[in-house]
Amino acid sequence: MATDPTPSGTAPATPTPAAPAPSPDAPASGRRGQRVQIFQVSTLYGAATVAAALDSGRFGTRGDARRVLLVSHNAEIPETALRLDAMTGYDRIAARFDTTVEWNEAIHPHHPGSWAPRPEETPLWQRVLRTAWDLGDGPVELIVESIQANPAKALAAVFAESTVQLYADGLMSYGPTRDELPQSIGCRVRRLLHLDLVPGLRPLLLAEYGVEPEIVPDSAFRAVLAEIAGAAEGDPHVAAAVEAAPTAVLLGQYLAVLGILTADEEEDLHARMVRGAAAAGHRSVIFKPHPTAPARYSRALREAAEAVGVRLTVLDGPLLAETFYARCRPRLVVGCFSTAMLTASVYYGVPIARVGTGTVLERLQPYENSNRVPLTLVDHLVPDLESGAGPAVPGAAPDTLESLVRAVGYCMQPKLHPGLRAEAVALLDGLRPDDPLARYVDRDRLTELGLPGGDAGRSLSRPRRLRRRPTGRS
């Protein structure tokens, strides 16, 4: 599960730039007039998506523009988290670019999720970054993730005349835009590149701005994943995994950091994955913590494995989960609502199963939390391991899915998607309280919006104000 960066306001003070600010009359460095493309990434999975888009010609041929890879370390405490450039396979991705620069260094000592320039400072910041990154004086194109939050919003503010393209790092693309974008940014977004993780389902992200989604070819992404897996040849972590002869991979997330579960509840969730895998007949399993999750030893996880006679291998090395899929060829991948579950089924044909989605559905607040659509997708498409249902490869989106996602999307962001109200009403009108789809819509939210299924007896003259709270990317 990858995280949607924490929304933030303007920093109270200007951070020390990475390079001294040039005088107003100083010429820009670099090749005069050369077009520059800045690709902002914070995860290896996202970088792999960008690489696949490059390889499939989505950004022209190499040499058409100078390609800059801008790395942002967005973990809660970046200094203690695993760095992107330490991940196995990163070097192969970075080789596709002409240069690599770091956002954290440029805005030090501020956090990339919480810093944005003051409006009056943006022209100076553009000159500083053009000089520090040797961008020259030519046009700059931005290719970013999660435009509704920093650091992408900060970049769009600094390069105020630049066009913006988005790539979707996981299942978030299927949900609505988290916040209304400033008109100065919304009008500059040209397209949304995304992986076809739920074949047949059209993303809602930025649809209100008329942004067209464009699929990154499956073949290109598979090739990049194979390249990353090839970089793991001889890696001791992979060797340990292969030696353990695992048949199941269990995916950790960081729900406690996001405040969705407590730390103890998250440990119990992982223990439930172990017990579920054991009940399904697996005797050797890998537990793969999320790359940005805080380091902690899980005695509960090991005790659960010992109790059910399962060999547990915890692999917290600098590797994508997809590397284990390629090297270990598991027969099962288990998670809560991690994007890596869908990657396993779509790109490797591995059956998947979920654990704990019901609990998270009950806990997830506020209703417009950006994790809601990824959670809804996994809960609706993927079998529940603890129910006795066998794991499966979900395949194409069922007929019920698009109407469900659009109804949930409207309930999350009614002001951004007023045109979806009629579709939401049509779906909700036909739901009984015991209908499986009813679990995805909150009765209080339906009441607020005056939708079928709400409390008709409650006065709607003064509905509760829509709540805002930081969310995370899965």
Question: Treating both helix axes as pointing N-terminal to C-terminal, what angle do 372-381 and 399-412 enclose, rounded to 10 degrees?
Answer: 160
Contact 272, 303 (CB under 8 A): no
Least confident of 216-225, 241-250, 407-416: 241-250
Q: Is the pLDDT of residue 6 over 60?
A: no
Instruction: Report which of residues 408 and 430 the model is more confident about.
Output: 408
Instruction: For residues 136-164, give the mean pLDDT.
Output: 95
What's the confidence (pLDDT) of residue 12?
A: 44
Instruction: For residues 398-424, give the mean pLDDT.
Output: 95
Q: Give the CA count within 13 Å in the CB-facing half-sphere of 436.
A: 6
CA 293 distance to own-chain centroid? 14
Least confident of 322-331, 360-369, 449-458: 449-458
Best CATH choice for the domain 232-387 from the list 3.40.50.300, 3.90.1170.50, 3.30.470.20, 3.40.50.1980: 3.40.50.1980
Q: Is the pLDDT of residue 150 over 50?
A: yes
Strand partners, 251: 288
385-395: burial string, b at 16+ Cβ within 10 Å, e else: bbeeeebeebe
Reported as a pLDDT band with limits 50, 70 and 90, residue 378 is very high
Reported as a pLDDT band with limits 50, 70 and 90, residue 300 is confident
Q: Is the pLDDT of residue 297 over 90?
A: no
Within 169-309, residue ranges assigned H as helices are: 183-186, 218-230, 236-243, 263-279, 299-307
Least confident of 296-305, 349-358, 369-378, 437-446: 296-305
| Distances 430 to 80, 379, 424 between C-alpha atoms, Å | 50, 20, 10
Reported as a pLDDT band with limits 50, 70 and 90, residue 204 is very high
What's the confidence (pLDDT) of residue 292?
A: 66
Contact 292, 396 (CB under 8 A): no
Instruction: For residues 392-419, give the mean pLDDT.
Output: 94
What's the confidence (pLDDT) of residue 456?
A: 75
Instruction: For residues 432-452, give the mean pLDDT.
Output: 92
What's the confidence (pLDDT) of residue 241?
A: 85
What's the confidence (pLDDT) of residue 11?
A: 46
Sequence length of the chain is 474
The whole-angstrom separation of Cα 282 and Cα 311 is 9
pLDDT for 171-189, tens place per residue?
999 999 998 998 889 999 9
What's the confidence (pLDDT) of residue 222?
A: 97
pLDDT for 31-60, tens place per residue?
678 999 999 999 999 999 999 999 999 999
Q: Is the pLDDT of residue 459 over 70?
A: no
The whole-angstrom separation of Cα 467 and Cα 60 is 42
* Domain residue spans of the chain: 36-223, 232-387
Residue type, 250: L
Q: Is the pLDDT of residue 18 over 60?
A: no
The whole-angstrom separation of Cα 189 and Cα 206 is 9
CATH T-level fold of 36-223 = Rossmann fold (3.40.50)
Instruction: Report which of residues 153 and 22 the model is more confident about.
Output: 153
What's the confidence (pLDDT) of residue 239?
A: 87
What's the confidence (pLDDT) of residue 289?
A: 87
Reported as a pLDDT band with limits 50, 70 and 90, residue 402 is very high
What's the confidence (pLDDT) of residue 388?
A: 86
Whether the bond between 199 and the residue before it is cis, its omega within 30 degrees of 0, is: no
343-353: burial string, b at 16+ Cβ within 10 Å, e else: bbbbbbebbbb
Reported as a pLDDT band with limits 50, 70 and 90, residue 296 is low
Give me the chain's average pLDDT, please.
88
Reported as a pLDDT band with limits 50, 70 and 90, residue 294 is low
Q: Is the pLDDT of residue 399 over 90?
A: no
| Common-topology check for domains 36-223 and 232-387 | yes
